[in-house]
Homo-oligomer: A and B are copies of this chain.
């Protein structure tokens, strides 16, 4: 796999709005309206970001009448998030002058 592919994958997780959506879908699948309510962001903003996430298969969509139900690709995302948590736990201490800026420990 090449650089650009990795980049395109990680971009999904390098943004506040999309992370909000991702973390909110950890609990359960939701339609757009529910996500909008939960994350407290504008509908079109959420839709734009959902599109990006689903293009990359980070989330999946199913239609139900006029609503669309989004669910998290847990097989990829859960281990990914766990890896990050482990990273912070293992590498980042309060003593490090950057860790406090970078990660909320």
Contacts and interface: CB of A to CB of B under 8 A. Distances in A.
Given A55-B98, A56-B102, A16 B4 contact: yes
A8 to B, nearest CB: 5
Contacts of A15: 7
Q: How many subunits of this chain does the assembly comprise?
A: 2
Interface string A19-43: 1100100000000000000000000
A79 interface: yes
A40 B55 CA distance: 31
Nearest to A13: B10
A81 B6 contact: yes
Interface of A: 1-11, 13-16, 19-20, 23, 55-57, 73, 75-76, 79-81, 83-88, 90-92, 96, 98-99, 101-104
